[in-house]
Structure formats: C-alpha cells, structure tokens
Amino acid sequence: MGIAETYSRGREFAIERPFALVLGVIAAVLLGDLLLGLATGQTQFADIGTLVWDGLMRGLVIGLAGIGLSMTYSILNFANFAHGDYITAGAFSGWATTYLIAGLGRADIGALLLVGAGGSVYGGTIGIGMLSTPLAVVAGIVVAGAFAIALSLGVDRFIFKPVRNEDGITLLITSIGVAFALRYLMQFVFGSDVRGTTAQPPSIGLYLIDGTVFIDAHDITLLVIASGLMIGVHLLLQRTKLGKAMRAMADNQDLALITGIPTERVVRSTWIIGGGLTGIAGYMFILWKGTLGFNDGWLLLLLIFAAVILGGIGSIYGAITGGLVIGLTASMAVLWIPSAFARAAAFVVMIVILLVKPSGLFSGRSTA
C-alpha cells in the first residue's frame, strides 16, 4: 500500500510539475558528475571552494546593485536600463577620487582624474589598495555613492519626471536613450581602454582538504561593505517611517496618495538610496576585479536583471538572493562547461527556475 501510494504521488507530481522534475534530474546528474570528479581526483575540493568564494563575491555585487533596480521597478513601475551606466559612472567618479588622493604629487593631476586613461598612470604603480591606501579607497567609496545619487536625481528631475505619467514603454525607451548617452559620454571622457586599478592585495590561505583557498583584503572589504549595506536597507524598510511609506507606495500608489503619503519624497528617497547603493556597488566591483572599462556596468546589467527577475520583481530580498544564485552559477558553471559560456549558464538557471516558479523566488513581496 505504501509503495503504491508513493508511486501515485510521484506520478501526480510529474504530471502537475514536469519542469520541477526535470530540474531535479538535471541537478542530480550534475551533482553525480561532481562527486565522480572528486572521487577520481579530476576535481579538487580547493577548486570548488575557490569557485564558491568567487561566486559569493560576484553575487554580492550583483545583489547590491540589484536592490536599486528592484526599488525603482516596485515604486516607479519601470525597468531602468540606464542602471548599468549609473554603476559605471559611480565607479569612474570614485576611482578618479582614489587615484587623485593616492597619486597626488606622484603623477599628473589630469592623468589621475582620468583614471590613467591611455596608460598615463597605473593603479598598481601608485600602490592602490585597501590596506596600502585606505583613505583613498574609503574616499572613493563615498564619492562613488554620492555621484551616483546626484546623477540619479538629475536624470530623474530633467528626463524621467516629465514622462513619468506616460506608459511604461515610454519610460523604458527613455532609459535606454539615457544609458547610451551616459555610456558614450564616459567613453569620450575616459577612453575605451580597460585599465588596471589596484596593486596586488595581500591575502590569506585557507587550507581545504586537498589545497588552499585564497581570500584577499579586497574580498573581505567587499563582504563587509555589501553585507552592512544590505542589513542597513533591511532596517530602513522595516523600522523607519520612510521604509513603511516606500512599502505602502510599492503596494498601492493610489492608496498611498489618498492616505497622505508624500509620494514625491518617496520617489526622491528611492533614487537616493538606489543610486547610492548602485554607485558603491560599481566601485566595489572594480576594487574586487581590479580592472575598469567604460562598459563594465552594461555587461553587469544583464546579470542584475536576471537576478531581479529570478528573485521576484520588486522584492529587495529577492534581488539579493537572486544575485547570489546568479553569481554562484556563473562561477561554478566552469566545472561542467567552458568558461566562455559561464554567463549563459546563469541565464539558463534563471529560465529553468522561473519555469518551476514563474513569479520568482520571493514572489508577492514588493520592496521588502
């Protein structure tokens, strides 16, 4: 009787949720292949540990930047395609500040403000790093957030606000135009070359069964700052009047207007919080990977959209969780496929999970 009942339930599950069954089979096959690799020595535990740590770092950047995009969508009801270029703009402004402070008196001021455009000065040459030039790095983080806030507010005031009452397509197309304008303005000012930004940071090695996983000072910096900011956003949304007003407006904007919630203040606060997090995420992304280019934010934007959609559009916690899932997938996919296809694997995982849970991991939880 027990076997028959189990078979019946399994058959019903397979009929009602075939995609979940397929997902389970794929996961089992990949896990089996991984265990076989560990057993035969083709894969080492240290390799897996390194990829997991790399994925966590990547996921923190994606999740931090995704918070701003998710807030914009839930409160202003449009997908802001200029978000990736806010990331790049914050990164360039912050790194120009870091270069200026770290290299003052050692290189030409113009070259420092242009972040070493054309190979005029290198971050490694002037020894930029969290431990070697902490003041320059902290100042860069602050300026990156502040500049992205100013940019977000300026674009909203002069470009988005006049068309805010139009349909979502109008705002979407407008944001694409803003994205292209910002991207090629930055290319014009800073150049199209990808430049190294930091010296090699000191690291510690953690022994893991058959090898060592290295964690450097910039990894720890990213972990501390991203985690702290995420906790801060949680506390703001759950414990403050502004956070409650944001959640109310995300749930029902018309009702928020009737009950006297200052919607313009909420919109302004959304751009301030989202812009600040976006700028800092851009700076930390460059600190972590050590190179800077004019289209870094655009390339990251696709993964951010994937994270926000995966987590559930409009959910802050969904954006964070989705960012970690996408980051870990993009890093660990190299265990099974060539690294050139790792980004594609993240999108495949997003599609498969959405087939099982179409409204996302945190569906129905707007803003919070």
∠ Cα 53 343 326 (to 5°): 50
Q: Are 200 and 220 in contact (CB under 8 A)?
A: no
For residue 59, the model assigns a pLDDT of 95
264 against 21, higher pLDDT: 264
pLDDT reported for residue 26: 78
Q: Please write the tens of the pLDDT for every residue from 91-138.
A: 999 999 999 999 888 888 998 999 988 778 888 889 999 999 999 999
Res. 11 pLDDT band, cuts 50 70 90? low
Structure token digits, residue 62 = 């994606």
pLDDT for the residue numbered 184: 94
Residues 97 and 328 sit within 8 Å (Cβ to Cβ): no
pLDDT (0 to 100) of residue 354: 80
Report the candidate in 102, 300, 113, 292 with the shortest Cα–Cα distance to residue 197: 292
Q: Which token pair is 192?
A: 């199209």
Residue 3: what pLDDT?
64
What's the mean pLDDT when you consider all of the chain?
Answer: 86
Q: Band of the pLDDT at 324, cuts 50, 70, 90?
A: very high
Give one DSSP letter per residue of 171-235, joined into a string: HHHHHHHHHHHHHHHHHHHH-S--EE--PPPPEEEEE-SSSEEEEEHHHHHHHHHHHHHHHHHHH
pLDDT at 47 over 60: yes
pLDDT tens profile 178-233: 999 999 999 999 999 999 999 889 889 888 888 889 999 999 999 999 999 999 99
Q: For 263-306, give the DSSP string.
A: HHHHHHHHHHHHHHHHHHHHHHHHHHH-EE-TTHHHHHHHHHHH
